[in-house]
Amino acid sequence: MQLVSACTKTLLDSRGKAAAMEKFSISILLIISLLPFLCSSFSQESPTDRRILVLLDDFSLKSSHSIFFSSLKSRGFDLDFKLADDPKLALQRYGQYLYDGLVLFSPSVERFGVALDLAAVLDFVDSGHDLIVAADASASDLIKSIATECGVDFDEDPSALVIDHKTFAVSEIEGDHTLIAADDFIQSDVILGKTKIEAPVLFKGIAHSINGANGLALKVLSASPSAYSANPSSKLSSPPSLTGSTISLVSVMQARNNARIMITGSLDMFSNRCFRSGVQNAESAIKYDKSGNEQFVAELTKWIFHERGHLKAVNVRHHKLGETDEPAMYRIKDDLEFYVEIYEWSGKSWEPYVANDAQVQFYMMSPYVLKTLSTDQKGLYHTTFKVPDVYGVFQFKVEYERLGYTSLSLSKQIPVRPFRHNEYERFITTAFPYYGASFATMAGFFIFSFVYLYNK
Amino acid sequence: MLARTEPINGTAKPKPVSSPMNNFKSDLLNSFSLKSLKLKTKQQELLIRVSILCLVYVLAFITRLFSVLRYESMIHEFDPYFNYRTTLFLTQKGFYDFWNWFDSESWYPLGRIIGGTLYPGLMVTAAIIYWTLRFLRFAVHIREVCVLTAPFFASNTTIVAYFFGKEIWDSGAGLVAAALIAICPGYISRSVAGSYDNEGVAIFALLWTFYLFVKAVNTGSLAWALASAFGYFYMVSAWGGYVFIINLIPLYVMVLLITGRYSLRLYVAYNCMYVLGMLLAMQIRFVGFQHVQSGEHMAAMGVFFLMQVFYFLDWVKYLLNDAKLFQVFLRITVTFTVGVGAIALGVGTASGYISPWTGRFYSLLDPTYAKDHIPIIASVSEHQPTAWSSFMFDFHILLFLFPAGLYFCFKRLSDATIFIVMYGLTSMYFAGVMVRLILVATPAVCLISAIAVSATIKNLTLLLRAKNKVAQTASAKGIGSAKSSSKGLLDQSQPFHRNGAIALLLGAFYLLSKYAMHCTWVTSEAYSSPSIVLAARGAHGNRVIFDDYREAYFWLRQNTPPDAKVMSWWDYGYQITAMGNRTVIVDNNTWNNTHIATVGCAMSSYEDEAYEIMRSLDVDYVLVVFGGVTGYSSDDINKFLWMVRIGGGVFPVIKEPDYLVNGEYRVDKGASPKMLNCLMYDRARGVEIGNKDVKLEYLEEAFTTSNWIVRIYKVKPPNNRW
């Protein structure tokens, strides 16, 4: 009897333990399942970057460029400063990226720390993260090759700087005209914000050009037609390789996965000195108290870190006119309605995106229908059209690529079938003579047989 | 009949074995023996006949089961997978959905209207068998039904062969024909268990239609003609080979008309069969209005009208007593009808109402046509002209018995034997043009050979028996004059007859048993491997099974997104859709040459050009077959020249000489530079690799099966940063 009770007791005990264990494991499961949300890098829901790794050549940059960094911090970014050759440097741990963005303010670094190299940086970009690369006259091969991989070629001459004898920035001391006051901005409100940048941007650094084979890179700030790239301290022996407005001072590239990259040949552009100083273009009489650098850099980083110009298209729906359920297949000549919702990220929330140029294609190897979508101003776009008289596997395609915006590329496959055997018109008016003829023949044959057989 | 052959009898007398003579005798002997053992013999004979037929029926079924016993109950080859998939669809969704099925998983992105582009006979047959079994509470899976449909119909064919043989010769020939066709390799090649293809039921339908038509011609009965029209309908629903029927029968009728064998029986049989058969055939969506619109069917229509003219002339002749007047009338009528017919045909063809002959039809009449004009037809190995060895392989002694049988047929010409002679000769010609048409020739060859065997053996045994009889009845009295004449004949050749007959009988027996052994050997060794699973002998003589195809398809099914598109050479299309359940770009239904050429073009271009094509077709995976490791010979590099030819037929950028070295096709180091750099070469390299360490820029390897036979590559998305 006692034995039995003891047994039941242990049994109960173990049951209690099991229950506790279960609770524990459930909570662990919960945490694990939440983990991706807690530490997701480039979430679909809020595309703005949060954690940014800044790699520096030495920590003195932290103070000399403090305005730039503090403006980032005030916008809510977590900045993590590391020396570029820090041996413990790592972008990812256990396959998860630790950062959403990378700022390379280390132009002279020849090698990064152990776990970081060219391929790692490119992988970082290819998995959808953003990158800012700033070079200067001491730019290393590593930095140049990163730029090359992103479709931008720095001037090969290591001692060359951008020189402009016409649009240089006027300063007290007569310099070698390498400090340029550039104001040839890209015409895009999305990239540079709605407020016009009045003052020129001070730039001192090396030139680069966009690789013609790359269709994704853009010049955001170009040099004036009188600029060229050469060594300012030596005499020009041969014509400079890069001249005029082919020289790009600041370029951006939006990769196909919407990772954004900014490349500039001037690290000084971000410095406190350039932010603070006044500027006067040698060609114009207006003298600005403050250079355009701060506004330019702030607006551009907003774009780079997805605070602006990030679109998403969701809820692609389609159905037959007058129905609500989405069919698995359409029939030729069906009338259908197509919906898609497009939102723009404002930095904090998704706002309806309003435009009148979004189009949908009904596509099978080539577009059969191309319709402009009409919007209800609340993000919902819609249109109606008739399925063409061609069967096959079609796609609804929304390809929306506008300057500065993330490219939207949606496709939804839908087969289109021909008529079923019983969907054709059964009796056609024009065919009545044929119906009449066949019935008349039948009747005639019957009568004839009857007469022939019994008329004797 | 005998009366007709009587005069020949006289001339054939000197020959030791003369068939009509012996037939004549046999009739006499039959009547004689029936006198003494009347009922008993009849019953015995019936019993023997039925039991032989039963045995043949069972034999035909079980000899086709090698593959099931050796491997497993599965579908073979390529096309049967499509048939299986459609049958599955039919049993699951019902007939109307099947009829209207638009398949979006093949021929991406064009899709294929399955219901309107297949011959539904096979699927409907299998589904009906399945439903019947289900109704009888047999819980079978549709796959088992599909696997065993072909053997079942092969068994039925033997029965039809028996009746056909009986119709054209006698029941002995029928029995021999049934036995021959039951194990003939030419037929087994397309009807082993698992070979779930149209031909499986179509040969049955073909022979059935022919039998019923001959029966209708012999009897002149509307009912038989109607039955043959329905047989024709079944044939049309089952196989594109029905074109053979609709051309052979008019040809036969023409021959009868020319040889002056026109009769009312023929008129009834042909008209009823043609008109009803045509109307019924139009119910098959795939055939549609071809009977009135396509050039291939015009012969039948022409003969139909000719029959009416004949009938009309007969009637006029009956009304007009004046022969001269009739001659004039005949001339006018014939000129007029021929003129009208020619004009109608010319206008129809010119206006496009009557479509010209298709390439396949041309290539039958001119074997070199396909090679020059339509590489896609020529690329199929079973469309190649037949080698002599395969005739021997598929027919064995039938090849020698066939002419002998023709001889017997000519000896005893009748409407029925003329038919079988024409069937045999035309189908033999077609079998020479295309390997696969050996199948169509097989029943004719079996029937004609059966006539030879049956007639010879019958004659020989009669000789033996007759002698005994003569010995026995020599003392007996009361023998008619006919008897004495035959006795005289026997006496004339007595010294050699007995031994010669025994020797010949033994020889025939030896040959036939050799035939049976050959057939069994061929069936077991050559025709029972399911090609989707490869078997080879290992180093120690043990059997090694390469199940790479199914492994690859299973991988596709499990590891790729459901809407992934797979590009492969079209051979594997059906299997990928049926087993891998993934969308394919091209498959074995080669209805769109341009689309196949696009794939051929992609396979034979440089990788970057191919990438463009693959992007435009939304290809996600590329599947290639690689024989380099296992020495599997029918891999994609083997088929490569066809890809080049087919691709080059539509896209002139692809030129065959670019891939050849001094007119030779080489895959090793000596291969041409274009060859070495094209996509296909990267995918499926030969054994001696001419270009090692291939690096792929736009593709990455996704999966390779355990024996490296199937390799699947994933098409990379466009470069992220460029």
Tens of pLDDT, residue by residue over A372-397, are 999 988 889 999 999 999 999 999 99
**Cβ of A420 under 8 Å from any chain B Cβ?**
yes
Residue in chain B nearest A390 by alpha carbon: B110
**Cβ of A214 under 8 Å from any chain B Cβ?**
yes
Q: Is A215 in Cβ contact with B722 (below 8 Å)?
A: yes
Whether the pLDDT of residue B308 is over 70: the answer is yes
Inter-residue contact A259 to A128 (CB < 8 Å)? yes
Of A130, A164, A160, the residue nearest A144 (C-alpha):
A160
Distance from CA of A412 to the nearest CA of B (A): 11
Whether the pLDDT of residue B19 is over 50: the answer is no
Q: Is A329 in Cβ contact with B102 (below 8 Å)?
A: yes
Whether the pLDDT of residue B658 is over 50: the answer is yes
Tell me the pLDDT of chain B averaged across its residues.
81
Q: Give pTM, 2 decimals.
A: 0.80
CA B56 – CA B179 distance, rounded (Å): 6
Q: What is the pLDDT of residue B532?
A: 73
Of the candidate ranges A362-371, B232-241, B373-382, the one whose mean pLDDT is the lowest? B373-382
Beta-carbon contacts of B77 under 8 Å, excluding residues fewer than 6 positions away, are B195, B197, B530, B531, B532
**Cβ of A417 under 8 Å from any chain B Cβ?**
yes
* DSSP-based three-state secondary structure for B114: coil
Residue in chain A nearest B108 by alpha carbon: A393
pLDDT band of B531, cuts 50, 70, 90: confident
Distance from CA of A421 to the nearest CA of B (A): 7
Q: Is A421 in Cβ contact with B722 (below 8 Å)?
A: no
**Cβ of A253 under 8 Å from any chain B Cβ?**
yes
Tokens, residue B574:
């059906």
Q: Is B719 in Cβ contact with A418 (below 8 Å)?
A: no
Tokens, residue B185:
């390799």
Distance from CA of A234 to the nearest CA of B (A): 36
Fill in the amino acid letter for B612: E
CA A424 – CA A414 distance, rounded (Å): 22
At A311, give phi and psi (nearest 5°): -110, 155
Of the candidate ranges A350-354, B518-522, B533-537, the one whose mean pLDDT is the lowest? B533-537
Positions in chain A short of pLDDT 70:
1-45, 49, 172-174
Distance from CA of A260 to the nearest CA of B (A): 10
What are B714's strand-pairing partners?
Answer: B621, B700
**Cβ of A210 under 8 Å from any chain B Cβ?**
no
**Cβ of B388 under 8 Å from any chain A Cβ?**
no
**Cβ of A418 under 8 Å from any chain B Cβ?**
yes
Portion 364-403 of A in contact with B at CB < 8 A: 364-365, 391-394
Chain B residue numbers touching A364 (CB-CB < 8 A) = 109-110
Of B293, B422, B423, B441, the residue nearest B358 (C-alpha):
B293
Residue in chain B nearest A258 by alpha carbon: B720
Q: Is B100 in Cβ contact with A393 (below 8 Å)?
A: no
The minimal CB distance from B100 to the residues A257, A416, A420 is found for A420
* DSSP-based three-state secondary structure for A87: coil
CA A387 – CA A332 distance, rounded (Å): 6
Q: Is B113 in Cβ contact with A391 (below 8 Å)?
A: yes
Chain B residue numbers touching A253 (CB-CB < 8 A) = 721
**Cβ of A252 under 8 Å from any chain B Cβ?**
no
Chain A residue numbers touching B109 (CB-CB < 8 A) = 364-365, 392-394
Greater confidence (B684 vs B312) lies with B312
Distance from CA of B288 to the nearest CA of A (A): 13
Distance from CA of B233 to the nearest CA of A (A): 20
Of the candidate ranges B326-340, B598-612, B631-645, the one whose mean pLDDT is the lowest? B631-645
Segment A274-281 long-range contacts (CB within 8 Å, at least 24 positions apart): A274/A202, A274/A204, A275/A67, A275/A68, A276/A67, A277/A202, A279/A169, A279/A170, A279/A181, A279/A199, A279/A200, A279/A202, A280/A169, A280/A170, A280/A181, A281/A167, A281/A169, A281/A170, A281/A181, A281/A183, A281/A200
Distance from CA of B519 to the nearest CA of A (A): 46
Greater confidence (B6 vs A372) lies with A372
**Cβ of A150 under 8 Å from any chain B Cβ?**
yes
CA B454 – CA B174 distance, rounded (Å): 9
Residue in chain B nearest A421 by alpha carbon: B100
Chain A residue numbers touching B720 (CB-CB < 8 A) = 125-126, 255-257, 259
CA B545 – CA B523 distance, rounded (Å): 19
For residues B590-596, give the mean pLDDT.
78
Q: In the A/B pair of chains, how many CB contacts fall below 8 A?
A: 65
How many residues in chain B? 722
For residues B195-222, give the mean pLDDT.
94
**Cβ of B135 under 8 Å from any chain A Cβ?**
no
Q: Is B111 in Cβ contact with A415 (below 8 Å)?
A: yes
CA B284 – CA B243 distance, rounded (Å): 14
pLDDT one-digit tens code per residue, B415-460: 999 999 999 999 999 898 888 889 999 999 999 999 999 999 998 8
Distance from CA of A219 to the nearest CA of B (A): 15
Of A193, A197, A195, A196, the residue nearest A181 (C-alpha):
A197
Whether the pLDDT of residue B695 is over 70: the answer is no
Q: Is B113 in Cβ contact with A418 (below 8 Å)?
A: yes
Residue in chain B nearest A417 by alpha carbon: B102
Of the candidate ranges B59-73, B269-283, B302-316, B594-608, the one whose mean pLDDT is the lowest? B594-608
Beta-carbon contacts of A342 under 8 Å, excluding residues fewer than 6 positions away, are A311, A312, A313, A352, A353, A355, A358, A379, A381, A400, A408
- Is the previous residue joined to B20 through a cis bond, with omega within 30 degrees of 0? no
Fill in the amino acid letter for B121: G
For residues B663-669, give the mean pLDDT.
51
Q: What is the pLDDT of residue A439?
A: 95
Distance from CA of B595 to the nearest CA of A (A): 12
Distance from CA of B620 to the nearest CA of A (A): 14
Q: What is the pLDDT of residue B256?
A: 93
pLDDT band of B145, cuts 50, 70, 90: very high
Beta-carbon contacts of B150 under 8 Å, excluding residues fewer than 6 positions away, are B64, B190, B191, B192, B193, B194, B195, B196, B197, B200, B201
**Cβ of B720 under 8 Å from any chain A Cβ?**
yes
The minimal CB distance from B100 to the residues A261, A415, A421 is found for A421
How many residues in chain A? 456
Whether the pLDDT of residue B572 is over 60: the answer is yes
Of B167, B166, B204, the residue nearest B439 (C-alpha):
B204
Inter-residue contact B583 to B567 (CB < 8 Å)? no
The minimal CB distance from B720 to the residues A213, A256, A413 is found for A256
**Cβ of B108 under 8 Å from any chain A Cβ?**
yes
Q: Is B563 in Cβ contact with A413 (below 8 Å)?
A: yes
Chain A residue numbers touching B100 (CB-CB < 8 A) = 417, 420-421
Whether the pLDDT of residue B677 is over 70: the answer is no
Chain B residue numbers touching A214 (CB-CB < 8 A) = 721-722
Greater confidence (B379 vs B567) lies with B567
The minimal CB distance from B722 to the residues A216, A261, A393 is found for A216
Q: What is the pLDDT of residue B693?
A: 47
